[in-house]
Amino acid sequence: MSLFRPVGSKVWYANYLHPVTGKRVRKTTKTTKRAEAQAVLDGFLGEAKKTAERREQVTLKEAIKLYVDSLEAAQKPSSKEMRALGDRLVGEGVTRCERATLDGSRFIHTLAPIDMEEFVSGRRADGKSAQTIAHEIKLVRAACRYVAGLGMAGPSQMYDRSLDRPWRIPATTQKTRYLGVDEWQMLFDYLDPDKPVPMVSRSGTAYERAPQELLRERRQTARDLLVALTLTGGRWSEVASLTWDRVNPPEFNTIRLWGNKTSKERLVPVPDMVREVLQRRFARRTSAVIFPALDGGALRRTKILYRAIDECGLNSPEKVAAHGRATIHSLRHTFASWLLQGDAELSEVQDALGHTSIHMTRRYAHLSKHKTAAKLGGILNAIVPDDRSPGNTSGMPKDNSDEIDV
């Protein structure tokens, strides 16, 4: 702890380490006299110590709830996703069957780095990717910091930089998987509703006994979703919740996607295949949602599309090792890759995907390297044309200016 005066200021400032959050605090004492400033600093420290002594103990479940409530109060678009993630962490909600979870009734100030390392190991055993685990660890850290800032008891080890084993976040090296045209066409043909396709679960048992007409309708919905997800570049949550008032029927010349992550709306292109899907579904609409579930609301997931990806061999061990695992989100990557391999610029793809920063779009930049190289080569050829004469060994264009005799 110390007192200091900034350059050009006559007022003394206090500088100390908060005993609860472990963060550096710099506050003005609002006085020009050092003795009075020292008394104010002592008051700051005394109040901080009292706060540390009367800190309320809070469980992990309560800490996550308080943090997510603060996100909702601030109208953060990530609040809904964070609440579902918090339920999964403590073994509640729709994902309560997962094996590796944290004890939600445990006081967070008792959490130690070894507990988090065991949790990470368990999540890896559950088959979760490094990116998913990183999101979960970040939520726990954020919740702990939030309640500690409220004066509650938090895990002090999280703030101690001298520890050999801090709360590490796994490095995410997940590959950006996108589909080639042949792979996508294979998936499209597999979902043909008029073609008898043996529906087999991953365990090898026969698919549920359902009328052929119902199976045909499910395959048609999955195929329509495949077209819409790939050719609009929308996230699953954006396309599955799409309503008719956002596609401008019956012309269908615009689609307005609402970005749940960015809380912004964007216009996306409407290729012919997407327009055909919208026109056909509009003629048989039974709900305000374009791709309704049985209850008329938005679809949560479609097992048929997941199963089709696996049945088409897109997740064979060789392909997963070389390119990463194919998921529904890979269709969004496919949209970006096809645009960049065509004539689209990186900034145009950024707008189409709804990315807030160009850095998020640069993951696809390598796909346009050949196009960029050809473009730059054409520019250089235009500047330095290949009209060198046999006698011109300098490599530069021949000077055709008139010679002057002296």
Which among 49, 202, 329, 369 is annotated as catalytic? 329
Which among 76, 138, 261, 371 is annotated as catalytic? 261
Residues whose CB is less than 8 angstroms from the CB of residue 154 and which lie 6 or more positions away in sequence, other chains included: 20, 21, 108, 109, 144, 145, 147, 148
Is 76 known to be catalytic? no
In total, the chain counts a number of residues equal to: 406
Is 178 known to be catalytic? no
Say whether 400 sits in a helix, a strand or coil. coil
Say whether 206 sits in a helix, a strand or coil. strand
Whether residue 137 contacts residue 123, with contact meaning beta carbons closer than 8 Å, is answered with no
Is 109 known to be catalytic? no
What the block records as the tokens of 229 is 């997800």
Whether residue 155 contacts residue 108, with contact meaning beta carbons closer than 8 Å, is answered with yes
Residue type (1 letter), 352: A
Sign of CA dihedral 9, 14, 20, 24: positive
Residues whose CB is less than 8 angstroms from the CB of residue 320 and which lie 6 or more positions away in sequence, other chains included: none
Is 355 known to be catalytic? yes
What the block records as the tokens of 169 is 């976040």
Which among 61, 65, 332, 333 is annotated as catalytic? 332
Longest Cα–Cα distance in the chain: 100
Query: How far apart are the two ends of the chain, measured CA to CA in Å?
Result: 85
Residue positions annotated with a catalytic role: 235, 261, 329, 332, 355, 364
